[in-house]
Amino acid sequence: MVKVGILGLGRYLPSKKLTNSDLEKMVDTSDEWIRTRTGIKERRIAALHEKTSDLATKAALSALRDAKISAEKIDLIVVATISPDSNFPSMACKVQKAIRAHKAAAFDVSAACSGYLFALTTAKQYIQTGLAKRALVIAAERISGLIDWKNRDTCVLFGDGAGACVLGPVKSGGILADFLQAFGAQGDLMQVIAPEARSPFHPAKAAYTQLPYVQMKGQELFKVAVNSMADAVEKVLKKAKIKKTQVDWIVPHQANDRIISAVANKLGVPKKKIFINIDKYGNMSAASIAVALYEAKKSKKIKKGDKVVLVTFGAGLVSAANLIKW
Ligand code: ACO
């Protein structure tokens, strides 16, 4: 079986920062509440002209530069997103056009905050079965467009951004094991409902233009997040027959610093082995792990030979983990 690994990493973050003190002026909240309950200090917000596909394209170009591979060599593009700028064409097709990856097949994956790992595992299978040789896996979210900026329960948590990697055959190491799971029955814990008001036959014409917003049952989600992420780590390590003590780094989805601490406790893993950057970006949904992995590698925390677990949960509900040997 062909070994598949990460050949290059990239990211793009909008320049506009929204700090906790900015949010204090928008809703009834405080820097102290946000920091102690979530660990977030600031997040990035895309400019009005910046679409999800623009964020995805910039992250893709950054990953191609890092891998020193030209776009013509890419034969698969998978974009993970729940905030596309159009239902169709897909974000992947827009990226393909923008970077001129003429030979690439392209499609999107919708798995909320687990999207990057679902996309990574999907692209890996394409390469292992010979359908593709080199893939661009991108996670891009302009989640600010799905947030009710008058609702303090949700607006303090999220931010925009994009991360990407180039996947291809490697001689040793690479992605050693994958774990994907879904709990559709718990889908109502976090959702963006496109209301029936979107129908042209709806009597409430005023509601017709209402945007759908993120709705979330935060406390219930918190418990599920901790259990499903800890379980996903255990499962992926069991598959690879690797002990927790052999893991060098865990790069988790960055939804809440308290969730990350609780996962570390449940697993009995010291928090210093867990990469955290939620303070700078908040929850960027699918893009969180993609950006965190880029930063863990570029800051030289992840070194050659390290065993790294990526783990996530997200709306759906869906959870996932991958074990990578660098
Ligand atoms: N500022 C100030 N006060 C607030 C804010 C705010 N932004 N938001 C809520 N509060 C208030 C509440 O109204 C409540 O007040 P009350 O006690 O008078 O009723 C009080 O703070 C406590 O609220 P809780 O909901 O109990 O706060 P909790 O400690 O549970 O933290 C949080 C809330 C941060 C949302 C937490 O539950 C959480 O992180 N849950 C998981 C959320 C998550 O991970 N979402 C994304 C997952 S899926 C994905 O990533 C796509």
Q: Which of 107, 139, 172 is the last residue of a domain?
A: 172
Q: Do 28 and 197 meet the contact criterion of CB atoms below 8 Å apart?
A: no
127 with 14, same domain? yes
> What is the C-alpha separation between 11 and 56, in angstroms, rounded?
8
Q: What is the pLDDT of residue 208?
A: 46
What whole-number distance in Å separates Cα of residue 271 and Cα of residue 260? 8
**Ligand 1 atom closest to residue 152's alpha carbon, by position in its atom list:** 7
Whether residue 272 is found in the same domain as residue 181: yes
pLDDT reported for residue 213: 83
Residues 149, 40 share a domain: yes
Tell me the HSE value of 218 on the side-chain side, using a 13 A CA sphere.
12
Distance between CA atoms of residues 113 and 312, nearest Å: 7
Report yes or no on whether pTM surpasses 0.85. yes
Same domain, 168 and 295: no
How close is the Cα of 143 to the center of ligand 1, in Å? Answer: 18
Q: CA–CA separation, 224 vs 143, rounded Å?
A: 22
Q: Which of 142, 172, 202 is the last residue of a domain?
A: 172
User: What is the tens place of the pLDDT at every residue in 125-144?
Assistant: 999 999 999 999 999 999 99
Say whether both 141 and 191 belong to one domain. Answer: no
Domain co-membership, 105 together with 148: yes
97-114 b/e with 16+ CB inside 10 Å = b? ebbebeebbbebbbbbbb
Name the catalytic one among 20, 165, 253, 256: 253
Average pLDDT of the segment spanning 280-300: 98
Name the domain count of the chain.
2
Nearest CA to ligand 1 atom 49: 314
- Residues 15, 137: one domain? yes
247 and 302 together in one domain: yes
> Domain range holding 46?
4-172
pLDDT of residue 201: 58
Last residue of a domain, one of 110, 141, 172: 172
Residue 79 sits in the same domain as residue 209: no
Q: 160 and 207: one domain?
A: no
Please state, in angstroms and as integers, the Cα–Cα distance from residue 16 to each residue in 34, 44, 120, following that order.
Answer: 19, 6, 28
Confidence class for position 191, pLDDT limits 50, 70, 90: confident
Check whether residue 133 and residue 213 sit in a common domain: no
Residue 31's CATH number: 3.40.47.10
Residue 193 pLDDT class (50, 70, 90 cuts) = confident
Q: Containing H/E element for 250? A: strand 249-252
215-232: buried (b, 16+ CB within 10 Å) or exposed (e) per residue? ebeeeebbebbbebbbbb
Per the CB < 8 A criterion, the answer to whether 218 and 190 are in contact is no
For this structure, is 253 an active site residue?
yes
Pair (182, 159) in one structural domain: no
From 21, 33, 35, 37, give the residue whose CB has the most ligand 1 atoms within 8 Å, as the site to mutate. 37
56 CA to centre of ligand 1 in angstroms:
29
User: Which band of pLDDT confidence, cut at 50, 70 and 90, is reported for residue 200?
Assistant: low
Q: Which two tokens stand for residue 34?
A: 């946000």
128: part of which helix (H) or strand (E)?
helix 115-128
Distance 153 CA to ligand 1 centre (A): 6
